[in-house]
Structure formats: C-alpha cells, structure tokens
C-alpha cells in the first residue's frame, strides 16, 4: 500500500493532529529520537517525517569498530512513548548497533501500545526501579527489577504497562536504525508457549535476585541464557569484582564488546586507562584485550558481546 509523504516541522504535533482526524499509528522510528512515522485510516496511508532523506536501510548496516567512552549524567532526549533516551554509542559503529540509557522520571502508566521491532538482536536490563511488561507467548504481565534482564527476540509482540518513578534501563539493539511497528489486532496477554521461537530466538527472562554467581575472569558473574537463546549470536552477563582482584577480558573475535557500569567504580585498563563511575559505558573494539582494576566493593557491570553477524547462525534480519 503506497503512502503519501508529508514533511512536517514537529513530529509529535503532526501525530496529534492526524490521530484527531481518525488515523492510527502503524510505525515510528527511531525509538530514541523519532523523526518519521506511518499512519493509516482505512485504506488511506500517510507517512510523516522531519527528515525525508533519512530512509530505513534496505539491509544490515556495515560494522565499523571503534573505542567508545560515554560518561554518566550526559543529557538525553525525548524518545518514543514519553521515555527519555541517553545515547551510549553516538557513532552507532557504522549503523550496526544502538545502546540507550532509558529513564522514566515520573513513573506510573506508560503510553505504550502492542508493538514489535524488526531487529536481529535486542535486550533490556534494569538498573534502577521497576517496570511491568507483557510479552507474546509469556503469559500474564510481570515486573522486571534491578539486576533483571530480558532478551526480546525479533518481532515478539510486547508492551510496557507501567513503571516506578525513576526507572532506568539499558537497551541494546541491532541494527541501530529500526522501526517500531504497532500490532493493532493482537491482544496481550497470550497463553504461555515455552517452545516458541521468534526470528529463530527464544525469549529470556533473567531474574537477578535468584540467579547464582560463579567465578569469572578473576571476579564473579551471573551468566544469562542469552547465548543459548540466540544460538550464539550474543552473550550477556552481570559482573562483579572480588576484593583486590583484577577482572581480565581476552580479545573478542566477534563484533560488539559493550560495558555499562551499573554501580560503583573501577579503572578500565585499556590503552591509557580510564576511571569509570556509575552510569559510564564503553565499547571495546574486537581483537583487543582489556581489564578492570581497582574496583569498589559495590562495582557491578553489564557486559554484552555479539558474534560476527555474517557467520552467526541467525539471519541478520
């Protein structure tokens, strides 16, 4: 179905106007700073955009490795559904990856809808507060708390229902630029279907409060089921240091090597060394070893890696 395109100066104002005229939102992008959307009213379809040249890529963007260091407290902007997004990988590694520190300051019901994403990989980890969500095939809504993580497989339908005041989550996705699409027909919740896969991946809900800690690289880690659920496409873990220990990480032969300091402080032993504090994040280029030293007793790190997509067992999109 072809769509008429309208270039608008303010996306939110245009959305409000079209909804008032009986249109419904079908898709919007990007989530962290929306500039384009598609709406429909019966057979009539309209595309509105603030950036007519910013079309969605036809395929997976190339991977361009670089070292990235982003400091906590740097400003964020208004994103989808009233959420505030802080960009953790401004250069997007060539357009391959996006990572966002998302906050909901006021809490309460979230102006979300049943939706899905065309992605190869996407996960969300809770840093502070709580959020109630519902996912296709996972039964009744549930709450994810600090130290919890969910893997959102490609195109799984879901909805954010409500949150505490001061909610903070870390979201990582690939590719960086992707659509959020509404599903107007599916009602959530749906029955539990533990065997179902979405885009070749299984849903993962990691509950940090009950997950065991095991020795890991000189410290300890909670290993999630993300590796098995993605058939090796990605790995995710929560890491903490032992007193006086050095956390050593061998060179990675895949693509993304991402870390976010959830709590505490440490020194990133990479190149000239970097003092890290709460809310800081970094990306290490593949093929380079690194370490954490002088970690505080409360140091906690979210550590996420991905394989090379061209040799991974999953289809990129």
Q: What is the pLDDT of residue 79?
A: 52
Q: Which domains does the chain have, with CATH numbers?
A: 4-49 (3.30.720.120), 73-202 (2.60.120.10), 214-306 (2.60.120.10)
- Please list the pLDDT of the chain residue by residue as tens digits (317 residues): 567 899 999 999 999 999 999 999 999 998 888 899 999 999 999 999 999 887 787 778 899 999 999 999 765 565 555 678 899 999 999 999 999 999 998 889 998 999 999 999 999 999 999 999 999 999 999 999 999 999 999 999 999 999 999 999 999 999 999 999 999 999 999 999 999 999 999 999 999 999 999 999 999 999 899 999 999 999 999 999 988 789 999 999 999 999 999 999 999 999 999 999 999 999 999 999 999 999 999 999 999 999 998 755 444 45
What gap in Å lies between CA 22 and CA 181, rounded to an integer? 18
**Contact criterion met (CB below 8 Å) for 317 and 297:** no
Q: What's the longest Cα–Cα distance across the chain?
A: 65
Q: What is the pLDDT of residue 59?
A: 79
What gap in Å lies between CA 109 and CA 86, rounded to an integer? 21
Report phi then psi at 144, rounded to 5.
-110, 135
Q: What is the pLDDT of residue 223?
A: 87
Looking at residue 93, the DSSP 8-state letter turns out to be G
What gap in Å lies between CA 307 and CA 98, rounded to an integer? 16
Q: What is the pLDDT of residue 315?
A: 47
**Contact criterion met (CB below 8 Å) for 177 and 129:** no
How long, in residues, is the chain?
317
Structure tokens at 123: 């996960």
Query: Within a 10 A sphere around the Cβ of 253, how many other Cβ atoms?
Result: 10
**Contact criterion met (CB below 8 Å) for 67 and 258:** no
Is the full-model pTM beyond 0.75? yes
Among candidates 277, 225, 267, 274, which has minimal Cα distance to 247? Answer: 267
- Cα four-point dihedral sign 126, 248, 175, 121: negative
What gap in Å lies between CA 140 and CA 211, rounded to an integer? 22
Host H or E run for residue 20 = helix 11-20
* Chain centre to alpha carbon of residue 1: 30
Q: What is the DSSP string of 221-274?
A: EEE-SHHHHTTTSEEEEEEEEPTT--EEEPPPSSS-EEEEEEES-EEEESTT-E
Strand 121-128 with 180-182, pairing: unpaired
**Contact criterion met (CB below 8 Å) for 39 and 26:** yes
Among candidates 8, 80, 3, 92, which has minimal Cα distance to 46? Answer: 3
């Amino acid at each position: 179905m072809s769509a008429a395109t309208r270039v608008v100066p303010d996306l939110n104002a245009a959305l409000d106007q079209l909804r008032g005229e009986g249109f419904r939102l079908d898709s919007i992008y990007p989530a962290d700073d929306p500039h384009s959307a598609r709406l429909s009213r019966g057979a009539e379809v309209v595309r509105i955009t603030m950036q007519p040249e910013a079309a969605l890529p036809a395929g997976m963007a190339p991977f361009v490795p670089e070292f990235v260091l982003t400091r906590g407290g740097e400003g964020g902007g208004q994103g989808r559904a009233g959420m505030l997004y802080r960009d953790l990988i401004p250069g997007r590694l060539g357009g391959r990856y996006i990572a966002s520190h998302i906050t909901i300051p006021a809490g309460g019901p979230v102006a979300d809808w049943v939706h899905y994403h065309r992605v190869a990989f996407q996960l969300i980890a809770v840093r502070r507060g709580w959020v109630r969500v519902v996912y296709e095939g996972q039964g009744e809504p549930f709450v994810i708390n600090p130290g919890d993580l969910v893997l959102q497989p490609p195109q799984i339908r879901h909805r954010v229902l409500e949150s505490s005041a001061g909610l903070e989550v870390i979201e990582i996705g690939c590719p960086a630029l992707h659509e959020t699409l509404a599903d107007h027909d599916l009602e959530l919740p749906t029955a539990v279907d533990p065997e179902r896969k979405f885009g070749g991946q299984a849903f993962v809900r990691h509950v940090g409060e009950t997950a065991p800690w095991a020795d890991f690289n000189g410290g300890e880690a909670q290993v999630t089921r993300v590796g098995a659920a993605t058939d090796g496409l990605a790995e995710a873990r929560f890491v903490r240091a032992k007193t006086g220990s050095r956390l050593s990480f061998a060179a990675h032969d895949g693509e993304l090597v991402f870390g976010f300091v959830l709590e505490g402080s440490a020194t990133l032993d990479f190149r000239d060394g970097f003092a890290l504090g709460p809310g800081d994040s970094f990306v290490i280029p593949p093929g380079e070893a690194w370490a954490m030293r002088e970690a505080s007793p409360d140091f906690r790190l979210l550590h996420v890696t991905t394989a090379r997509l061209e040799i991974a067992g999953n289809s990129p999109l």
